[in-house]
Amino acid sequence: MPTHVPVFIATTLLLAMLPGASQALMIRQVLEGGRTLRGTLAGNATGFLLWSTAAAAGLSAVLLASPTAYAVLRIAGGIVLMILGVNTLRTALTTVSTRPPHEGGRRTGFAGGYLTGLITNLGNPKAGVFAVSVLPQFVTAKGPVFLSTVALGALWALVSASWYMLLTWAVSRGRALVSQPTVLRGLSVATGVVLLGLGAAVAAGF
């Protein structure tokens, strides 16, 4: 069964807030307009579901047959979060770049946006690492492990989609709201600190 759901929501939200390919894609799509953004959101969410389902397919046997393997996954998940936290802090304390996306790109429909979002997500190694090494930390061996992991994947997709919707709404209302260097720096520092704390807690088994 899923455990520590509030912590899981906070973790996935922080990961969604980290600058990356998906975030840049969402900003570009909102500037292009049309139905592309909705398709991109749906494709990105589908990617999260595919990652979590793939992880769940092999997770059940690992959890039920090898407590040692589970401990290794737990420690690896904590290390992943701490590395993300360190990288986020390092970026925040050195430079924060907010290069505006190029406008005037070719508009595509929902299907084109969906495919773009799906490919971007599946091509993101961070999503795969999170699904394999971090997602299992929020599932216990009690109850339907496979279904619990897939359910967490759906929650992961929902949280990420909610953040991207908020971000693109803010961008559409005014880029100055999300592109000020001081705002981004403060957000990055806070995110890095929290990721470090969460990673340490996960690795320690708290």
Average per-residue pLDDT in the chain? 76
pLDDT tens sequence across 173-202? 765 555 567 766 776 787 778 778 877 876
Contact 55, 76 (CB under 8 A): no
Give the model's pLDDT for residue 161. Answer: 92
Cα 181 to its chain centre, rounded Å, is 22
pLDDT tens sequence across 18-71? 777 777 777 766 665 556 788 889 999 999 998 888 888 876 566 556 777 667
Q: How far apart are CA 133 and CA 200, in angstroms?
A: 14
- 104 token code pair: 């005037």
Contact 121, 23 (CB under 8 A): no
More confident: 16 or 26: 16
Residue 159 binned pLDDT confidence (cut-offs 50, 70, 90): very high
At 2 the three-state DSSP class reads: strand
- Cβ within 8 Å of residue 111, ≥6 positions away: 39
Its pTM stands at 0.66
